[in-house]
Structure 1
Amino acid sequence: MEILELDPTDADARRRWHEVREGSVRADRPHALTTTLGAFEATATAASTYVARTWLQAVDGSEVVGVAELELPLTENLDVAWCEVGVLPGRRRRGVGRALWDAVVERSRAAGRTRVGGEVSVDVDVAGAGHAFATAMGAVERHREDHLLARLPVPATPIAPDYEVVTWRGRCPDEHRGAYLAMRNQMNADVPTGELDLETTVLDDERLAASERGLMKAYDVRVAAARRRSDGTFGGYSLLFVPHGEDYGWQDDTLVMPEHRGHRLGAALKSANYAGLPDHVGVVHTWTAPDNTAMHRTNTALGFRVVEHMYEMEASIASDGPG
């Protein structure tokens, strides 16, 4: 067996890599939300100013038996690498995962990184190996969120009378971009990170535009925002992605600005986004920290239920550390 880098220009190799990731993730995570082939293709074939990516594969003969993705932030958190490691169930406990991890650590150290982070999700009913593997590699838990799922339709939540819902798909219209950037940056500052020590990402128009262009290649991007009628001030937004050709959506950010809280805007914005989805979309995924009781109540009222626990793990890879 050898660890090789994926050639991102090879379409067949990209497809095989994605198939192995799917097979490794879904073996013990029936509710897993994975990256679609279309989304992976969009990422693998486009350069980024903000992150460098490498895709690794464990090859035994001509068979790919495990994969890893390595992301190196280029503009902030320059001491951190992010990774995901997956091994097909029939090839586990044979050193494949460890070999991929060692390759991740080697490349991360070479790039000057001193810690590697990643997400490990565990189904609430099905035993999985991901958390035990991460712990064996020296990773410790820094933050936890619940992965929740709701089947559509959900109960309608009307917007408060003092507000109106403004929606768009894809690129944020020019007339809303200033307000949208302010809300996105507030979200980045407020998002719970537990014990993770990370620099906050600050969006400007260029970075927002780059994100929008990339996302629109693979997703129907939908935003519902709350605007106060009296003065036109935006008080919150909810961001939803629907992968092209799929029957589910995944809920990204939902934020209500501090001075606009107490009007159930979060529930109303989610409800508005879901009501606008085409009939074939029947499921929505979302993630919420267990101690975010307000959002947990909102999600429960909309019919969401916890299906997985997601752990954000981190390992020190200083030269004398694990790995």
Structure 2
Amino acid sequence: MQITELDPTDPAARRAWHEALVTAVRADRPHALTTTLEAFEVVATAPSQHFARSWLQAVVDGEVVGTAELELPLSENTEVAWTEVAVLPGHRRRGIGRALWDAVVVRARDAGRSRIGGEVTLDLDVAGPGQDFAGAVGAVEMHREDHLVAHLPVAAALVDPAYEVVRWRGRCPDEHRTAYLAMRNQMNADVPTGDLDVEAAVLDDTRLVDSEERLMRSYDVRVAAARRRTDGLFGGYSLMFVPHGADYGWQDDTLVMPEHRGRRLGAALKAANYADLPEHVTLVHTWTDPDNAAMHRTNTGLGFRVVERMLEMEVALDADLDVDPDVGARA
């Protein structure tokens, strides 16, 4: 078994890496939402100025049997590294996950990072080894969210008559950008992070443009926003992504600004986005903090149901840990 770094300039190598990742993840998670090959191609071939990324692979007899991604934030949270490790089911309990993890730790330390964070997602009905592996490398749970899905169409939710719904796809129109940036930065400041010590990203127009351009290469980006009729002020927005050609999408941010809350704008904006989707899109994913009772009520009222638990984990790199190489590999 060899641990090598993916050559992001090699199309066949990128495809093999991505295929191994998807196969490993979906073995234990029938409801998993995995990155599409098209989205991975964008990330792998068009580096971002805000993140440095590299990809490791475990190779046995010429086959990629395990993967690890390392993401190093460059603009905020520069003491943290983020990772995901995955191993094909038939190759687990052989030390492959540990070898990938060790390689990630070396690179994170070399980059001056003191913590490594990652997600462990657990299907409600299918047991997987991810939590055991995370615990074995010393990871501590810092936050959790529910992963929910809804089949379309969902229940109708009408917008408050004091507001109108403004929609756009892709790039935010120039006339709305100031308001949209304010809402996006409010969302970044408000998003629940549990015990994670992370700095919220602050968007300016340049950073928003970069994000929009990169996302549009992989996704149909859809926004529904609520604008108050009396003064034109925006009260909230809902952002979702549909991978090009896919029959599903996922609900990203939904925010209602503090002074506009209590009018069920969140539900109305989500429903407006879903109602505008093409007919072939039949499933929507979303994630919600289980302690966010208001958003949980909104989601379940629209027909969402919980299918997985997502645990955000963290390892302090000053810990000297002995790990059992036979523990399963998915963290």
1:26 is matched with 26
Count of residue pairs the alignment pairs up: 323
1:128 is matched with 128
Letter in 2 for 1:196: L
User: Contact 2:137–2:321 (CA<8 Å) still a contact in 1?
Assistant: no
1:301 is matched with 301
Give the Cα separation in 2 of the matches to 1:125 and 1:61. 33
Q: Deviations over 1:279-300 (max 9, x none)?
A: 0000000000000000000000
* 1:123 to 1:172, Cα distance in 2 relative to 1, 3 A: same
Q: Secondary structure of 1:291's partner?
A: coil
* 1:46 to 1:322, Cα distance in 2 relative to 1, 3 A: farther
TM-score normalised by structure 1 residue count: 0.99
Q: Secondary structure of 1:27's partner?
A: helix
Structure 1 spans left out of the alignment, 5+ residues: none
2:144 is matched with 144
1:105 and 2:105 aligned: yes
Give the Cα separation in 1 of the matches to 2:182 and 2:72. 26
Q: Secondary structure of 1:59's partner?
A: strand
Give the Cα separation in 2 of the matches to 1:209 and 1:242. 19
2:96 is matched with 96
Matches within 5 A, 1:34-49: 34-49=34-49
Give the Cα separation in 1 of the matches to 2:205 and 2:192. 24
Give the Cα separation in 2 of the matches to 1:321 and 1:30. 32
Give the Cα separation in 1 of the matches to 2:28 and 2:320. 33
Q: Secondary structure of 1:286's partner?
A: strand
Matches within 5 A, 1:100-249: 100-249=100-249
Letter in 2 for 1:30: P
User: Contact 1:51–1:73 (CA<8 Å) still a contact in 2?
Assistant: yes
In the TM superposition, residue 61 of structure 1 has moved relative to its aligned partner by: 2.4
* 1:319 to 1:291, Cα distance in 2 relative to 1, 3 A: closer
Q: Secondary structure of 1:131's partner?
A: helix
Give the Cα separation in 1 of the matches to 2:39 and 2:322. 33
In the TM superposition, residue 321 of structure 1 has moved relative to its aligned partner by: 6.0
User: Contact 1:68–1:84 (CA<8 Å) still a contact in 2?
Assistant: yes
1:259 is matched with 259
1:3 and 2:3 aligned: yes
Letter in 2 for 1:223: V
1:71 and 2:71 aligned: yes
Give the Cα separation in 2 of the matches to 1:127 and 1:30. 11
Give the Cα separation in 2 of the matches to 1:321 and 1:77. 24
Letter in 2 for 1:139: A
* 1:161 to 1:25, Cα distance in 2 relative to 1, 3 A: same
Q: Secondary structure of 1:178's partner?
A: helix
Give the Cα separation in 2 of the matches to 1:161 and 1:44. 45
Q: Secondary structure of 2:119's partner?
A: strand
Q: Secondary structure of 1:20's partner?
A: helix
Task: State percent identity of aligned pairs.
Answer: 73
Q: Deviations over 1:76-109 (max 9, x none)?
A: 1011000000000000000000000000000000
Structure 2 spans left out of the alignment, 5+ residues: 324-331
Q: Secondary structure of 2:33's partner?
A: coil
2:284 is matched with 284
Letter in 2 for 1:167: R
User: Contact 1:147–1:287 (CA<8 Å) still a contact in 2?
Assistant: yes
Q: Deviations over 1:24-64 (max 9, x none)?
A: 00001000000000100111110210000000000112111
Give the Cα separation in 1 of the matches to 2:162 and 2:211. 32
Q: Deviations over 1:260-307 (max 9, x none)?
A: 000000000000000000000000000000000000000000000000
TM-score normalised by structure 2 residue count: 0.96
User: Contact 1:315–1:322 (CA<8 Å) still a contact in 2?
Assistant: no
Give the Cα separation in 1 of the matches to 2:296 and 2:67. 34
User: Contact 2:240–2:250 (CA<8 Å) still a contact in 1?
Assistant: yes
Which is worse superposed, 234-243 or 58-67?
58-67
In the TM superposition, residue 318 of structure 1 has moved relative to its aligned partner by: 2.1
Provide the aligned C-alpha RMSD in A: 0.9
Give the Cα separation in 1 of the matches to 2:152 and 2:322. 45
User: Contact 1:316–1:322 (CA<8 Å) still a contact in 2?
Assistant: no
Give the Cα separation in 1 of the matches to 2:45 and 2:195. 34
Q: Secondary structure of 2:9's partner?
A: coil
1:59 is matched with 59
Letter in 1 for 2:68: A
Runs of 4+ in 1 over 3 A off after TM superposition: 319-323
Letter in 2 for 1:70: L
